[in-house]
Amino acid sequence: MSVKEELRTTVAGLVGADPASVADDDNLVLLGLGSLEMMRLVTKWRRSGLKVEFRDLAATPTISAWTSKLEEASA
C-alpha cells in the first residue's frame, strides 16, 4: 500500500468515512478530523522516526499535502 493510500485509509477511519470518498485535496478538518486526532497521528509518526510537525499538517490538512510531508520526512 502506498503512503497516500495508507494515509487515506487511516484518516477515513478516524472520521468514519469510506476511504474512496476522501479525495486528495479534501480539507480533512472539514471532514471531521480534529486537532486531537492530528496530534495523535504526529505522535505515532514521530515514534516511528518521522520528523513531522503538527503546525505543518494543520496548515494544509489534505491527503496530498500530508503525503508530501511524510515522504519528505522518510527520505
Residue extents of the structural domains in the chain: 3-74
- Residue 75, pLDDT above cutoff 90: no
Nearest to 8 by CA among 66, 59, 73, 57: 66
Output the pLDDT for position 10.
96
Is the domain spanning 3-74 CATH 1.10.1200.10? The answer is yes
- Using CA atoms, how far apart are residues 20 and 40, in angstroms rounded to an integer? 23
At 28-63, the pLDDT tens digits run 999 999 999 999 999 999 999 999 999 999 999 999
- Reduce the secondary structure of 31-73 to three states and give it as a string: CCCCHHHHHHHHHHHHHCCCCCCHHHHHHCCCHHHHHHHHHHH
pTM strictly above 0.85: yes
- Residue 1, pLDDT above cutoff 90: no
C-alpha dihedral over 30, 34, 40, 44, to 10 degrees?
0
